[in-house]
Amino acid sequence: MKMSAIKLNRRQVLQAGVCLGCGLLLSETAKAATIHEMSGAVHINKLRATAADDIEPGDIVSTADNGHIAFSVGGDAFLVREFSSVRVGNTGSSLLNTLELFAGKLLGVFETGRRRNIYTGTATMGIRGTACYLDVRPKSTYFCTCYGETEVISGGEKREFEATHHNPQQLDFVDGKLTSMQATGMRGHGDDELRQLEAYVGRLPRFDRG
């Protein structure tokens, strides 16, 4: 199933148990995400997603082996790949400032001027006017600052990264504790995907602005 620029109605049934303080900061008028593309098995709060669904603050979006979904929230846009699970926002609130990536692969582009946090089980990524890609696995996290500035905090260690055109890092863990953080090669995402996500929110990537 594939959709293009579809504005969906508000979700009518929410899972009562979905509640942790996480979300993405956006204007108060933007209360739900717009799904731009979806294929394969995609679920929202464990319910199979359809074209009649919104992604509301606090919802958990998950994908199976053949699933992916692209959506935008305010001035931010995201691509969630296969075998992934991410919480988008805080139940009951339209003022959002974080994402929680439990597992899998997420590409995101963010509006400038505001800080967001992306939480994983082992690290926190502080985002400001950034595009980034994450691949979260049990013993490692691949994190690329595609452009902009990020701050990575894990195991009491904090590092700041800046990029105009990709700065990938590999974080390795043993028993949930950070053992190394070092530069690595780029993988899992590309410039055309960044261009598409930025187009969803009416922008160009920094590397195309001249």
Q: Given the DSSP bridges, would you call strands 115-119 and 85-88 parallel, antiparallel or unpaired? A: unpaired
Does 6 reside within a domain? no
Cβ distance 110 to 76 under 8 Å?
Answer: yes
Which residue segment(s) compose the domain that 72 sits in?
Answer: 34-208
Quote the Cα angle for 102-105-106, to 5°. 90
Q: In this structure, what CATH number is given to the domain that contains residue 86?
A: 2.60.120.1440
Cβ distance 72 to 27 under 8 Å?
Answer: no
Q: What is the pLDDT of residue 94?
A: 62
Segment holding 130, helix H or strand E = strand 124-137
Does 26 reside within a domain? no
Does 8 reside within a domain? no
Does 41 reside within a domain? yes
Does 89 reside within a domain? yes
pLDDT one digit per residue (tens) for the chain, 210 residues: 333 333 333 333 233 222 222 333 333 344 578 899 999 999 999 999 987 788 888 999 999 999 999 999 888 999 999 999 999 977 765 655 789 999 999 999 999 887 889 999 999 999 988 999 999 999 999 999 999 999 999 988 899 999 999 999 999 999 889 999 999 999 999 999 999 999 999 999 999 986
Q: What is the pLDDT of residue 93?
A: 58
* CA–CA separation, 191 and 164 (whole Å): 12
- State if pTM tops 0.85: no
Q: What is the pLDDT of residue 16?
A: 27
Does 131 reside within a domain? yes
Does 20 reside within a domain? no
Q: What is the pLDDT of residue 23?
A: 36
Count of structural domains within the chain: 1
Does 22 reside within a domain? no
